[in-house]
Amino acid sequence: MFYKNARIYASDCKFHFGVFEVTDDGRFGQVLPDRIPEDAYDLEGATVIPGLVEVHSHGNSGCDFSDGDYEGLKKMARYYLSCGVTSFAPASMTLPYDVLERAFATAKRLVDENPVGCAKLCGIHMEGPYFSYKKRGAQNPDYLKEPDFEGFQKLYEDCGGLIRIVDVAPELPGADEFIRKASKLCTVSVAHTDSDYEHAKSAFAAGASHLTHLYNAMPGINHRNPGVIPAAVECPRVRAELICDGLHAHPAAIRLAFAMFGGERMIIVSDSGRCAGQPDGTEFDLGGQTAKVVGGVARLGDGTIACSATNLWQCLVNAISFGVPEEAAVRACTINPACALGVQAEVGSIAPGKQADFVVCSPDYAKKRVYLAGKLV
């Protein structure tokens, strides 16, 4: 089927007005062909972007990935899809290995069973337990560990290699060795760290290529002690996540991040918890700790900022409203996160042969229709 009169976000990460095709097997066919078939469906100038790819979300709808509950994970996946997220990698927390093993097993089951009406699980983001105590943020300090490649490798193998991102604080003992080994299996991200500039540079040289929730749970930029962020900016392989709820980072800091890293290296994330979609005042469990939604963001009892209560679609809308160029914001929600997960050959852009996951929306992104493998959901 062909669709015409569409403002299409094409694989060159720019908008073009034209036509695209979805084949009978749920793939993109021709994109921006010269000839417009007479029976093409008229989208009447609507904006068409790839389905969003979420690489950092713990949960929603009262469910958390780390619960290890299969029905809860399916509920999460349905919610993602309703928000325009067609591919996702749920994030775990700092928890004992046996708890992580159960959660990762539910992810593998979701991939194997591929239930109808759910966003596609494309990997796991293992956030913890290899973190700094000082910059643990909302991670449970009782379960922090030094980098442990053997333990990580067992988790990786037991879930069939589904871990696509693993986080580590580079100042911890053995971090560089862990990074060298783990980066051969998946993306390694610098996170929850009190690292100085030198340790961060060493981590990136060892193979780390990702920065988890930029600005949060890491030192700020200091002109005499630059820390992690300038080290990441200087390494062209490194992509940076950014929570665009307007609460974890000020809009000016969001614009600064895109200016520093460039649109080709930014990844917008929600970092949502089970509180996503829940009203202010909701209390919930977060990795064995009690958190509460206050002013649209989750906080621990001591006031520490935790996960967000938003979703990736809203973060995209926010980023554009904050002054991030539209094409850069869409890129940061689609092909860039797909690359971080290593699934860019299958999803993340509107290109011939890729799965036809896309969103048809109004120019202001207020109204949308979501398509998964070419079918309206």
> Would residue 358 count as lying in a domain?
no
Domain that holds residue 23: 2-48+363-376
The pLDDT confidence band at residue 41, using thresholds 50, 70 and 90, is very high
Upper half-sphere CA count for residue 222 (Cβ side, 13 Å) = 10
Q: In terms of domains, do 23 and 100 share one? A: no
Residue 180: what are its φ and ψ, rounded to 5°?
-60, -40
CA distances in angstroms from 217 to 136, 138, 211, 305, 306, listed in the order given: 7, 9, 11, 10, 10
Kindly state whether residue 353 falls inside one of the protein's structural domains: no
Residues 219 and 187 in one domain: yes
Whether residue 357 lies in the annotated active site: no
Q: Are 23 and 111 in the same domain?
A: no
When pLDDT is cut at 50, 70 and 90, the band that residue 312 belongs to is very high
Q: Which of 142, 271, 285, 364 is catalytic?
A: 271
**Nearest alpha-carbon partner for 108 in 98, 121, 119:** 121
- Whether residue 355 is contained in a domain is answered as no
Average pLDDT in the 151-169 region?
98
Are both 271 and 324 inside the same structural domain? yes
Dump pLDDT digits (tens) for 131-142: 999 999 888 999
Do 180 and 41 lie in a common domain? no
**Same-domain check for residues 159 and 282:** yes
The confidence band for 245, taking pLDDT boundaries of 50, 70 and 90, is very high
Same domain, 91 and 14: no
High-pLDDT (> 90) share of the chain, %:
88
Domain count, the chain: 2
Query: What pairing do the DSSP bridges indicate for beta strands 85-90 and 120-121?
Result: parallel
Taking every pair of Cα atoms in the chain, the longest distance, rounded to a whole number of angstroms, is 65
Please compute the mean of the pLDDT values over residues 17-33 and round it to a whole number.
Answer: 96
Region 2-29: mean pLDDT is 97
Contacts of 113 (CB under 8 A, 6+ apart): none
Per DSSP, the three-state class of 81 is: helix
Sort strands 305-308 and 297-300 into parallel, antiparallel or unpaired: antiparallel
Average pLDDT over residues 65-79: 97
352 in a domain, yes or no? no
Specify the pLDDT at position 280: 82
> How many CB atoms are closer than 10 A to CB 361?
21
Is 154 found in the same domain as 22?
Answer: no
Let me know whether 368 and 252 are in one domain: no
User: Does 356 map to a domain?
Assistant: no
Look at residues 197, 243, 217 and name the one whose alpha carbon lies nearest to residue 136.
217
Do 339 and 237 fall into the same domain? yes
Q: State residue 110's pLDDT score.
A: 98
Residues 32 and 151 in one domain: no
Mean pLDDT of 275-295: 84
CATH code at position 265: 3.20.20.140
Confidence of residue 373 (pLDDT cuts 50, 70, 90): very high
Domain match, 21 and 164 both: no
Residue 357 lies in a domain: no
Inside any domain, residue 161: yes
Across all residues in the chain, what is the average pLDDT?
A: 96
Q: In what order do the strands lie in the sheet containing 289-294?
A: 283-286, 289-294, 297-300, 305-308
> How far is Cα of residue 316 from the mean position of the Cα atoms in its chain?
12
SS (H, E, C) 257-326: HHHHHCHHHEEEECCECCCCCCCCCCEEEECCEEEEEECCEEEECCCCEEEECCCHHHHHHHHHHCCCCH
| pLDDT top residue among 299 and 98 | 98
3-state helix, strand, coil in the chain (%, to 5): 30, 25, 45
Instruction: Look at residue 92 and tell me if it is in a domain.
Output: yes
